[in-house]
Amino acid sequence: MYNEKRNLTMLTDLYQLTMMNGYLKHNMDDSEAVFDMFYRPLQNNSVYAVMAGLEQAIEYINNLHFGPEDIEYLRSLNLFDEQFFDYLRSFKFSGDIYAIPEGTPIFPGEPMIRVRAPIMQAQLVETALLNIINHQTLIATKASKVVYAAAGTDVLEFGLRRAQGPDAGIYGARASIIGGCVATSNVYTGQQYALPAKGTHAHSWVMSFPTELDAFRAYAEVYPSSCMLLVDTYNTLKSGVPNAITVFNELKAKGYKPVGIRLDSGDLAYLSKKSRQMLDEAGFPEAKIFVSGDMDEQTIWELRSQGAAIDVWGVGTKMITSDDLPALGGVYKLSAIIKKGVVYPKIKISENPVKMTNPGIKDVYRLYDNATGKAIADYICLSDETIDTTKPMEIFDPQATWKRMTVENFTARPLLKPIFVNGEQVYQSPDLTDIAAYHKEQMNTLWDEYKRLVRPHIYKVDLSQKLYDLKQKLLLEGNCKQQHK
């Protein structure tokens, strides 16, 4: 879509290239590496995130190559020699990538993306994959929370002017649609992804005419069948709504049905209720009340709890920037080295338990209760393991292992899907509207306890016994190495 043909190969950290050169010098270029991308627990009352950005990650992988200008720039750094440049000239991704589809709710610690490729290739793609997936997942997650708070009323994405640059505005709008927004004010995103683009007029339109009534009449004359009027430029209840009603009556006499009014300031709970009463009494019960102005999920939840008569929410700054959480915290960690077909699991050990990694080549399954259709837990296991759903299965908390439960009458669905196999794309991204519908469907499989905005219940992400034992073995070996230094 947006600049899909641009070459982002150089969108990387320098140390990826210095490590690649080092692998080449140490004759490690024939080794394969397995990396997992996952995110760590969020610090904003979220227990889940929403996978997004995969379509752009696919475009990035498909366009990977070093052009002559790239090599000339790298030569100017005086860090690399001709052997490395010869390697870069024929660079092409030839590995496997598995990923969780966009729109899927995901949880901390589980692989969102698994890359298996020659070590130099797997190393290079780290930075760009993190950049692409972290950003869109962050915004899709925020949008999902906003939409949950709106509880069935429509949310529109209005963030372009406050986004941190054009890419953030375009892809942030895309991610917001995945999270459940029904339209965007961003015309470019609407064009590129065949989405509804929505908007009315600004206060400047009203201020450009002699009176507010003149401005409303002029707008209705141009857009009689889609007339939505901004009523808070001067005085919402004394002039804005009465003038809107006057124009709506004039439209009605001509056979048109007004869309509604927009509020952008003031006490939105009080103003919306009074406006609703005025519109109903004037004979316009179907006219919608649209609000905007620094909305987020908390504000929406509070307004709804106060009985605000609001039909549509325009959310901008706090969603497009993920105001309460500036970064997702997704990471990309080595989990295995493969030499001559032999897999050597790898683990990162840290004094901070949250920074320890899970070793080996892994798969992720979501377990569903057949009786309710609701998700029970996610289950991370080694890729050579299978799950027998015909028998009861015990799962346990990998941190507090005494917390155990037996799962019966359940279905296990793999979350990681093949995206690239031997460097060839085998997955076709769905249309954005289909991804949004899939997200809504998947969110309905989660109990509300996991989605509530304040102190949500923690969703279970468990390890198989075999993976847990491997992790403990490597931790013990790591500690022994430290003691013998």
Q: Which two tokens stand for residue 321?
A: 């920037």
The count of C-alpha atoms lying within 13 angstroms of the C-alpha of 32, restricted to the half-sphere facing its C-beta, is 22
Q: What is the pLDDT of residue 29?
A: 87
Please state which of the ranges 41-50, 86-95, 279-288 shows the lowest mean pLDDT. 41-50
Residue 483's pLDDT is: 46
Beta carbons of 299 and 262 less than 8 angstroms apart: no
Q: How far is CA 236 from the centre of its chain?
A: 37
Model confidence pLDDT, tens digit, residues 13-28: 999 999 999 999 999 9
Query: What digits encode the pLDDT tens for the residues 311-327?
Result: 999 999 999 999 999 99
**Cβ of 478: how many Cβ atoms within 10 Å?**
14
pLDDT digit string, tens, across residues 320-360: 999 999 999 999 999 999 999 999 999 999 888 888 999 99
Residue 456 in this model has a pLDDT that exceeds 70: yes
Torsion of CA 176, 333, 397, 139, to 10 degrees: -10
* R_g of the chain, CA atoms, integer Å: 27
Instruction: Find the mean pLDDT for residues 138-161.
Output: 97
SS3 of residue 467 by DSSP: helix
* pTM reported for the whole predicted model: 0.95
User: What is the per-residue pLDDT across 369-384, written as a single tens digit (0 to 9) for each?
Assistant: 999 999 999 999 999 9
Angle made by CA atoms 414, 465, 390, in degrees to the nearest 5: 55
Stretch 424-440: mean pLDDT, rounded?
98
> Average per-residue pLDDT in the chain?
96
pLDDT over threshold 90, residue 4: no
CB-CB neighbours of 145 under 10 Å:
26
User: What is the number of residues in the chain?
Assistant: 485
Return d(Cα 393, Cα 389) in angstroms, integer. 8
CA angle 139, 141, 143 (to 5 degrees): 70
Q: Is the pLDDT of residue 484 over 80?
A: no
Average pLDDT score over residue span 415-430: 98
Q: How many CB atoms lie within 10 A of CB 348?
A: 15
What's the whole-number mean pLDDT along residues 68-88?
97
Beta bridge partners of 184: 157, 197
Q: Which residues of 394-408 are buried (b: 16+ CB within 10 A; e: fewer)?
A: ebbbbeeeeeeeebe
Cα–Cα–Cα angle for 355, 358, 359, nearest 5°?
130
In this prediction, residue 477 carries a pLDDT of 87
How much is the pLDDT for 470?
97
Q: Report the distance separating Cα 311 and Cα 294, nearest Å.
A: 17
Per-residue pLDDT at 45: 82
Q: pLDDT class for 427, splitting at 50, 70, 90?
A: very high
Predicted confidence (pLDDT) per residue in 24-71, tens digit: 999 998 899 999 999 999 988 899 999 999 999 999 999 999 999 999
Going by the DSSP 8-state scheme, the letter that residue 237 receives in this structure is I
List C-alpha distances in Å: 187 to 4, 47, 190, 195, 469: 18, 33, 5, 9, 53
